[in-house]
């Protein structure tokens, strides 16, 4: 049994580690912003928390639709239908054009989100500036998502990793200047705080997207896919509808998952700047830890899709389960490491004792949350490789919105009249984290059960075909 897992790990690891480093670079965008803004102003940190929650809620749903290109291309690549795989990228780019209009309008007019957050006027002004800059960056982010989904699906994650690292290297000095300001003789830049974070992200994302476009046009690797020479292919509505059929429930699932998380920040903003700042540190830590299971999920899902394209269904099932088991094991140990070193880790972000005190009690929930998050992510990516996306979306809605967000709101704002039995320790931010963890456990268990059922159906169909 161990030998089989090691064999699967040897196949998964070469795809997973570049995705991990690349995703860490992506997370570096928000980590650098969080550290710099935490040392600049608690009000700007609160604005960053609320603004990031709004942006992520908008972006990830659109990103999920675009990422439908990955399982589709993975199957075509496994079947060695390279021109058809390249044509899918063209159609995905048309999809991006429509999605960016929707997303940018929401970011430019975020009134519904701001009404829910009930942020102070000072925080709201800073949130608007941050989101305006990100509305400019959204088209580049979606185009790069299409490039990333395609390139990882054809087993070339190192190219994506290199571009993501380049984007981070572009962003760091710009964020340093724009957040805290710069004054050197005739060269003066005002301190923009949270708004500076958004401007730096927009510059970095457009640079990254343009480099990706140049790479596809010049690198011989992409020539067999028909991606060099000529312009964008005409829209193929049949292909676009097929992408939407898979992508909309994928996007819906990711939107439900992330919005359940990000709306925590919006609701916690009602408790004041310090609780939401402590929550932001916990969010950044869970995002950092999530990169490992996300990388494993990308690699596992890619290999499963390619195996299905090669009609190796037994190998696809084996890889899917092994990837899930490896991800759960590693996530447990990473979560434990963070929990037992929590004081030192939080000290890296800030020396403000009030923010540290607000974040410290959340880190036990972060450990449990992380393990459940790994389980549901691995199972979801494997299911997408099987082109199963609608049922997971329903599971997410019930578990994450129903149990996680609904239960968290009830616990966090419970009073003695409505929930006398709720201990005081589960009021406030901890109520949201405990309920969110319970919701993720339910989602992970349900998705794994669904995956097992899909595998049994495939085995039954194979036996019937042989009989």
Q: List the structure tokens of 224.
A: 């067999």
By the 8 A CB rule, do 258 and 57 touch?
A: yes
Helix (H, G, I), strand (E, B) or coil at 257: helix
Q: Is 405 exposed, middle or buried (0-12, 13-18, 19+ CB in 10 A)?
A: buried
Half-sphere exposure of 301 (CA within 13 A, CB side): 32
Query: 324-360: per-residue pLDDT in tens?
Result: 999 999 999 988 888 787 777 777 776 777 777 667 7
The CA distance from 69 to 150, in Å, is 6
Helix (H, G, I), strand (E, B) or coil at 80: coil
Written as one string, the DSSP assignment of 180-234 is: H-EEETTEEE---THHHHHHHHHHHHHHHHHHHHHHHHH-GGGGGGT-SSS-PPP
Give the pLDDT mean for 208-217: 93
pLDDT: is 115 or 382 the higher one?
382
By the 8 A CB rule, do 415 and 432 touch?
A: no
Instruction: Name the nearest CA neighbour of 74 among 357, 386, 374.
Output: 386
Domain ranges of the chain: 2-466
Whether the pLDDT of residue 416 is over 50: the answer is: no
pLDDT score of 414: 62
Instruction: Name the nearest CA neighbour of 304 among 391, 409, 380, 408.
Output: 380
pTM for the complete prediction?
0.83
By the 8 A CB rule, do 200 and 173 touch?
A: no
Q: Cα separations (Å) of 364 from 49, 262, 367, 369, 428?
A: 21, 19, 5, 9, 15
Q: For the beta carbon of residue 1, count every other beta carbon within 10 angstroms.
A: 7
pLDDT score of 14: 92
């Amino acid at each position: 049994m161990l030998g089989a897992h090691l064999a699967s790990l040897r196949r998964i690891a070469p795809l997973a580690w570049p995705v991990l480093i690349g995703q860490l670079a992506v997370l570096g965008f928000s980590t650098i912003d969080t550290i710099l803004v935490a040392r600049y102003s608690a009000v700007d940190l609160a604005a960053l928390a609320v603004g990031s929650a709004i942006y992520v809620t908008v972006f990830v749903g659109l990103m999920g639709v675009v990422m439908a290109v990955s399982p589709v291309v993975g199957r075509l690549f496994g079947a060695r239908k390279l021109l058809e795989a390249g044509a899918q990228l063209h159609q995905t780019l048309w999809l991006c054009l429509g999605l960016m209009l929707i997303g940018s309008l929401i970011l430019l007019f975020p009134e519904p989100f701001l009404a829910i957050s009930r942020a102070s006027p000072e925080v709201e002004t800073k949130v608007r500036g941050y989101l305006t800059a990100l509305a400019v960056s959204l088209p580049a982010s979606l185009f790069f998502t299409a490039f990333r989904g395609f390139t990882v699906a054809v087993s070339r994650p190192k190219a994506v990793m290199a571009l993501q690292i380049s984007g981070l290297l572009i962003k760091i000095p710009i964020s340093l200047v724009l957040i805290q300001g710069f004054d050197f003789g005739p060269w003066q830049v005002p301190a923009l705080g949270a708004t500076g974070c958004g401007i730096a992200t927009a510059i970095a994302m457009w640079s990254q997207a343009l480099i990706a476009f140049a790479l596809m046009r010049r690198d011989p690797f992409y020539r067999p896919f028909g991606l060099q020479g000529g312009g964008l292919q005409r829209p193929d509505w049949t292909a676009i509808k097929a992408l939407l059929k898979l992508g909309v429930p994928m996007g819906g699932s990711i939107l439900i998952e992330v919005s359940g998380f990000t709306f925590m920040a919006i609701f916690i903003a009602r408790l004041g700047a310090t609780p939401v700042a402590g929550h932001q540190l916990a969010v950044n830590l869970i995002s950092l830890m999530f990169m490992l299971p996300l990388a494993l999920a990308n690699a596992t899902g890619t290999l499963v899709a390619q195996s299905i394209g090669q009609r190796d269904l037994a190998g696809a099932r084996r890889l899917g389960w092994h990837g899930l088991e490896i991800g759960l094991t590693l996530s447990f140990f990473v979560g434990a490491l963070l929990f037992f070193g929590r004081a030192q880790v939080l000290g890296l972000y800030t020396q403000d004792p009030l923010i540290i005190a607000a974040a410290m009690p959340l880190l036990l929930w972060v450990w449990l949350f992380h393990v459940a998050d790994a389980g549901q992510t691995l199972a979801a990516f494997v299911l997408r490789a099987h082109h199963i996306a609608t049922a997971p979306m329903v599971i997410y809605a019930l578990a994450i919105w129903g149990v996680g967000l609904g239960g968290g709101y009830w616990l966090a704002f419970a009073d003695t009249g409505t929930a006398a039995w709720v201990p005081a320790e589960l009021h406030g931010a901890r109520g949201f984290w405990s309920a969110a963890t319970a919701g993720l456990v339910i989602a992970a268990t349900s998705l794994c059960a669904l995956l097992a059922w899909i595998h049994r159906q495939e085995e039954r169909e194979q036996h019937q075909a042989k009989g």
